[in-house]
Amino acid sequence: MKRIRVGIIGAGGIANVHARYYKELPNVELVGVTDIIREKATEFAKRWGISPESVFTDYRDMVDKLGLDAISVCTPHRYHAEPTIYALRHGVHVLVEKPMASTAKEALEMYRASLASDRVLMVGFQNRFDSQIVAAKRIVESGLLGEFYYGETTLGGRRRGIPPSLTFYAKEMAGGGVLLDLGCYAIDNAMNILGFPEVSRVSGHVFTALGRRKEAIVEGGWGPWDTERFDVEDFVTAKVVLKNGGVLILKESWAMHCNDLGRPFFLGTRGGLKLNPLEVYRDEWGFMSTTTLHLPRRDSWKDKIGKFVEAIVSDLPSPIDPREIVYEQYIIEAIYESARQGGTEIRLSIPSEIKTLFRKESEEV
């Protein structure tokens, strides 16, 4: 069995999760780590059995010197693009953490680099492998929903869950706030379940409601943060209008005076479904019926790392089509632009190579 030599860029919390799952695979060798803080990289290397000679502060040195097959990019959001593009251009497969990038332009450049290099580019949305998301997508593909006309997508919102690290809430490092951090998941869940419908226009509003308030740092939260340096949004709401007229509402929160934002749901002309737990609503035998699905337990992180490695070993396409994530990045960027303009509707314009996502839909019509 071919052994895959893997390096990790960024030695923070999420990098340790990547390392754990790589270590479970018999054909993967974790051979290098990079972090701009050498002490963090050194500690990470000791924890995961990486040689001290393979600890770097510049990802370019690691890529150039270690003969890597693949890397995981686990840097703050603002710094996803550069190491991804560099690695791809040097013949290295890349698993980059979500969000794909901090701008749509960066995401598109990453995708183009993957095409030019013929290497796997996978964005780390482990939610794609979650049992209820897989089942919900299958239900919609079966036609049970009929024509989608309205839905709401959210992870449920956090009452007081602002990440305490500057890398999340200082825009210079994060690129954005809760929309980039959690909203990307909510958008991906909806787009994936609905089969990546074509979006016509987007409007949105972002709020920094609690992040700059010292009195919002209370017991029971995720810990204190620097209110003086908090300069991103902690709440977002958006309206996404599809080409067929359907409407999708996004809601997400890091901090709010409420316990949750409700459950995601999707309404169609023949049926509907709701997540957490997955329930299906339809009419049968002249009655209204509700079905709760009992789903198998599934380790979505094991699938995320395992399928990335499998794609490399077996010369398969990326387990998650990067065009889909570039598309979602354009939706996110349109929400930010609308918010800057006070909620004005923004017509979504995406590059031609990403529009190939809709070719199948147009051929069927």
160 confidence band (pLDDT: 50, 70, 90): very high
Spatial distance between the Cα atoms of 323 and 106, rounded to a whole number of angstroms: 13
> Hey, which residues does 32 pair with through a beta bridge?
7
Q: Is a pLDDT exceeding 60 seen at residue 96?
A: yes
Provide the 10 A C-beta neighbour count for residue 359.
9
Tokens representing 77?
């959001």
Tokens representing 147?
């024509």
Q: Is a pLDDT exceeding 50 seen at residue 43?
A: yes
User: What is the DSSP secondary structure assignment for residue 262, as one 8-state letter?
Assistant: -
* In the block, residue with structure tokens 């002490």: 39
More confident residue, 362 or 76: 76
Spatial distance between the Cα atoms of 33 and 7, rounded to a whole number of angstroms: 6
Tokens representing 155?
């992870």
Q: Is 240 exposed, middle or buried (0-12, 13-18, 19+ CB in 10 A)?
A: buried
- 220-227: average pLDDT: 95
Q: Is a pLDDT exceeding 80 seen at residue 113?
A: yes
Average pLDDT over the chain reads: 96
pTM confidence score = 0.96
- The secondary structure element, H or E, covering residue 132 is helix 131-141
Give 312's contacts (C-beta < 8 A, 6+ positions apart): 4, 69, 70, 93, 120
User: Looking at residue 2, what is its pLDDT?
Assistant: 80
User: Looking at residue 277, what is its pLDDT?
Assistant: 96
Determine if residue 238 is left, alpha or beta; phi over 0 gives left, psi from -120 to 50 gives alpha, anything else beta. beta
365 confidence band (pLDDT: 50, 70, 90): very low
362 confidence band (pLDDT: 50, 70, 90): very low
The CA-CA-CA angle for residues 82, 85, 86, to 5°, reads 80
Tokens representing 57?
């502060």
- Domains of the chain, CATH where assigned: 4-127+300-316 (3.40.50.720), 147-268+328-364 (3.30.360.10)
- Spell 203-222 as b/e; 16+ CB within 10 A means b: bbebbbbbbbeeebbeeebe
- Would you say 19 and 48 are in contact if contact means Cβ atoms under 8 Å apart? yes
Question: Could you read off the pLDDT of 204-215 as tens digits, one per residue?
Answer: 999 999 999 999
Nearest to 300 by CA among 125, 95, 186, 129: 129
Indicate the residue type of 195. G
344 confidence band (pLDDT: 50, 70, 90): very high
- Would you say 225 and 160 are in contact if contact means Cβ atoms under 8 Å apart? no
The percentage of residues in the chain with a pLDDT greater than 70, rounded to a whole number, is: 98
Nearest to 91 by CA among 73, 116, 112, 58: 116
User: Looking at residue 361, what is its pLDDT?
Assistant: 47
Q: Is a pLDDT exceeding 50 seen at residue 364?
A: no
- Would you say 32 and 43 are in contact if contact means Cβ atoms under 8 Å apart? no
- Would you say 325 and 125 are in contact if contact means Cβ atoms under 8 Å apart? yes
Q: Is 227 exposed, middle or buried (0-12, 13-18, 19+ CB in 10 A)?
A: middle
Question: Could you read off the pLDDT of 254-313 as tens digits, one per residue?
Answer: 999 999 999 999 999 999 999 999 999 999 999 999 999 999 999 999 999 999 999 999
User: Looking at residue 1, what is its pLDDT?
Assistant: 65
360 confidence band (pLDDT: 50, 70, 90): low
- The secondary structure element, H or E, covering residue 203 is strand 199-207
Find out whether the peptide bond into 322 is cis, omega within 30 degrees of 0.
no
User: Looking at residue 198, what is its pLDDT?
Assistant: 97
Question: Could you read off the pLDDT of 185-206 as tens digits, one per residue?
Answer: 999 999 999 999 999 999 999 9
DSSP-derived 3-state class of residue 30: strand
Tokens representing 25?
């695979």
Distances from the Cα of 267 to the Cα of 14, 151, 274, 345, angstroms: 35, 6, 9, 23
Q: Which long-range contacts (CB under 8 A, 24 or more apart) does 63-68 make?
A: 63/7, 63/87, 63/90, 63/92, 64/90, 66/5, 66/7, 66/31, 66/32, 67/5, 68/5, 68/6, 68/7, 68/31, 68/32, 68/92
User: Looking at residue 163, what is its pLDDT?
Assistant: 96
